[in-house]
């Protein structure tokens, strides 16, 4: 039980109020209370057990997911949970399932793009789970390029219907979660065709399966696309393939909040601005950023606890080996990820505010902040999901060989999370969208059109192009104003340099393609600046609790200086800092690692994750790792018998053959 005593000792070192840090992480005391109550409710219910998930066949795995989803819905109704509480319960069940797309995409899309009549018709059915929906946009041949989708919706004025059709193999809907085996309905994106004229992509509500026997309706070919990366992982989700053979739907099942097709076959614009469609996109992407902080913090929690339990080398006079977490090589890889988890949490909070602000402005027909908000959410989705996917894998490696076991929780977490780098926009494509926005902003400088929101710093272009970092000693890097100016100057200079290089091309699109790698890096610099600036804004708030703000300041400095270290070439080549100042930043970074070390376990305890949610023997709260690893090994079906299946058919004949050869 040495591990138990060891983590208790680690917790006693905390230099801040852990309970108050839990509130900061959760966002409010109310949110913490709800989260804590629901997570423990799930953890204490054996029906939500998940430790055998990686040992199940695909069919058993999927059936088990259906059972959990149905049971979760039953508990939501029995306990009369609020929408907030129900969302928390689904989160802590921790199993990708059709529910995710029903609540996360199908319902929000109808809310955002349906008319009042359509919302009144479809949402009550969806909220009561009388229909189950998914989001069918991506096709076999097109994902990020939505305008290239091939599925057609042709209006038939004779019957007042749309004919949904898949004209090619590549027009098959491919990947939608919940589509393969469960969904009864889908929001299907197809090209609107009226009188042989193509009016671009629109959304349509299409019933896929009978509500009586669940069989596919006539003209619909539908199924699962097969096993994905990992063991259990995302294979609990029925990602699907869907083809239409001239399927007819009523005209009023086109989502018509923005544009409508009349009975006579005329396309008319409503008085609702088309920009409202972006509200759903902003909502989904801000949710993805929040999910990134959850996934990264989960991996970091596992790696931090295990790094404190694990001892290797460095035998001391007491005969005890050194804790892995005390090695500087471990700290330099682990603590920046810890800081990133907190940084992504806070920028996620800000994105929630941004979504509400943008939505209010859209309702009032104020579109002034929409381009900036679109670029911002696209860039942060890309930045945080890429960093989180890489961070989870780094945490696995930080756990050594045992991190490769499924019982560590890390291989499955990685396999579940990495699709986030692709869905809702490929990460590189999204950064190129950010780059276009930055190039447009730079081109308008000096025109009287002032930059807004996260680009407001570009209004100081002359100052940022000429400023020199004032750092003279390592401690100067602890000043938020110094760090912020360095990040602003780096982003400004990279954007201006890219704009100047683009101007050398006669064809701007040719230039954009040629310089795309540089433009992506300029977009990354801008997005990292956003994270740094929002972390600073968080520190400027009233943060209660003994020592809490001090710990957050340390984490902020680690995040910023680690990014500076990682992208040192950008800072040096653009002249933002000198090599000497870069060296001082590294000195300060090493010092900051030492300051985090006594608080590391308490900082991951503040995530308030139950052992059930973590799903990791290595990340157990009590630190009792090795007995549990040994215990888990014997649960594997291969250990059901001492002599394996196949011994008599394959192993025994080989052994007997070897014995006969030996006698020769």
| CA dist list (Å): 225 to 97, 148, 175, 457, 582 | 15, 22, 7, 47, 50
Q: What does the buried/exposed string (b/e) look like for 80-95 if buried means 16 or more CB atoms within 10 Å of the residue's CB?
A: ebeeebbbbbbbbbbb
Residue 445 structure tokens: 């400088």
Q: Which residues are catalytic?
A: 424
Q: In DSSP terms, which residues pair with 248 in a beta bridge?
A: 163
> CA-CA distance, 575 to 571, in Å (whole number)?
6
Give the H or E element holding residue 11: helix 2-11
CA distances from 280 to 274, 362, 557 (A): 12, 12, 34
CA distance 441 to 435: 10
Q: In which residue are the tokens 């041949």 written?
A: 141
Partnered with residue 87 across adjacent β-strands are none
Helices 516-539 and 480-502: angle between axes, nearest 10 degrees: 160
Query: E-assigned strands of 355-500?
Result: none
3-class secondary structure for 108-128? HHHHHHCCHHHHHHHHHHHHC
CA 81 to chain centre: 25
Contact 498, 435 (CB under 8 A): yes
Q: What angle do CA 349, 354, 359 make, to 5 degrees?
A: 135
């Amino acid at each position: 039980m040495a591990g138990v005593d060891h983590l208790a000792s680690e917790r006693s070192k905390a230099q801040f109020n852990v309970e108050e840090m839990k509130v900061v992480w959760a966002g409010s005391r109310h949110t913490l209370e709800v989260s804590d109550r629901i997570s423990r409710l799930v953890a204490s219910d054996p029906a939500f057990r998940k430790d055998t998930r990686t040992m199940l066949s695909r069919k058993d795995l999927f059936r088990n997911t259906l059972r959990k989803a149905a049971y979760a819905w039953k508990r939501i109704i029995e306990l009369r949970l609020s929408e907030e509480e129900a969302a928390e319960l689904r989160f802590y069940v921790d199993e990708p399932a059709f529910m995710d797309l029903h609540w996360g995409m199908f319902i929000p899309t109808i809310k955002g793009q349906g008319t009042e009549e359509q919302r009144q018709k479809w949402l009550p059915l969806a909220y009561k789970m009388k229909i189950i929906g998914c989001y069918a946009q991506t096709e076999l041949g097109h994902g990020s390029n939505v305008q290239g989708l091939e599925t057609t919706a042709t209006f038939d004025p004779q019957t007042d219907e749309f004919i949904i059709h898949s004209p090619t193999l590549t027009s098959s809907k491919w990947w939608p979660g919940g589509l393969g085996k469960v969904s009864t309905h889908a929001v299907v994106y197809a090209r609107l065709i009226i009188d042989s004229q193509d009016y671009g992509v629109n959304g349509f509500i299409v019933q896929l399966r009978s509500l009586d026997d669940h069989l596919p309706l006539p003209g619909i070919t539908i199924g699962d696309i097969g096993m994905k990366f990992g063991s259990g992982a995302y294979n609990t989700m029925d990602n699907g393939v869907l083809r239409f053979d001239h399927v007819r739907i009523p005209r009023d099942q086109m989502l018509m909040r923005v544009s409508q097709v009349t009975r006579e076959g005329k396309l008319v614009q409503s008085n609702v601005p088309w920009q409202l469609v972006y509200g759903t996109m902003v909502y989904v992407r801000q949710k993805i950023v929040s999910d990134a902080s959850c996934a990264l913090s989960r991996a970091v929690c596992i790696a931090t606890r295990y790094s404190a339990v694990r001892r290797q080398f460095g035998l001391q006079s007491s005969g005890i080996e050194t804790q892995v977490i005390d090695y500087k090589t471990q700290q330099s890889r682990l603590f920046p990820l810890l800081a990133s988890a907190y940084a992504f949490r806070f920028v996620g909070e800000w994105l929630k505010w941004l979504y509400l602000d943008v939505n209010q402005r859209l309702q009032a027909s104020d579109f002034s902040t929409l381009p900036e908000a679109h670029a911002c959410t696209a860039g942060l989705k890309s930045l945080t999901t890429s960093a989180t996917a890489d961070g989870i894998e780094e945490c696995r490696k930080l756990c050594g060989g045992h991190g490769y076991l499924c019982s560590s929780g890390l291989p499955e977490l990685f396999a579940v999370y990495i699709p986030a780098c692709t869905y809702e926009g490929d990460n590189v494509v999204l950064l190129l969208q950010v780059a276009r926005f930055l190039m447009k902003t730079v081109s308008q400088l000096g025109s009287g059109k002032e930059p807004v929101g996260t680009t407001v710093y570009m209004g100081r272009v002359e100052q940022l192009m000429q400023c020199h970092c004032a750092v003279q000693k390592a401690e100067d890097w602890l000043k938020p104003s110094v760090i912020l100016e360095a990040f602003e100057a780096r982003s400004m200079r990279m954007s201006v340099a890219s704009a100047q290089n683009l101007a050398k091309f006669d064809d701007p699109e040719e230039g954009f393609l040629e310089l795309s790698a540089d433009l992506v890096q300029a977009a990354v610099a801008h997005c990292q600046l956003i994270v740094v600036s929002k972390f600073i804004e968080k520190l400027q708030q009233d943060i209660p609790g003994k020592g809490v703000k001090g710990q957050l300041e340390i984490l902020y400095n680690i995040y910023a200086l680690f990014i500076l270290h990682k992208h040192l070439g950008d800072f040096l080549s653009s002249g933002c800092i000198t090599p000497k100042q870069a060296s001082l930043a590294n000195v300060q970074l090493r010092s900051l690692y030492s300051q985090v070390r006594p608080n590391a376990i308490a900082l991951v305890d503040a995530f308030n994750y139950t052992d059930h949610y973590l799903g990791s023997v290595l990340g157990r709260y009590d630190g009792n790792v090795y007995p549990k690893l040994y215990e888990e090994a014997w649960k594997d079906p291969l250990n059901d018998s001492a002599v394996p299946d196949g011994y008599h058919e394959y192993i025994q004949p080989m052994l007997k053959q070897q014995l006969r050869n030996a006698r020769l």
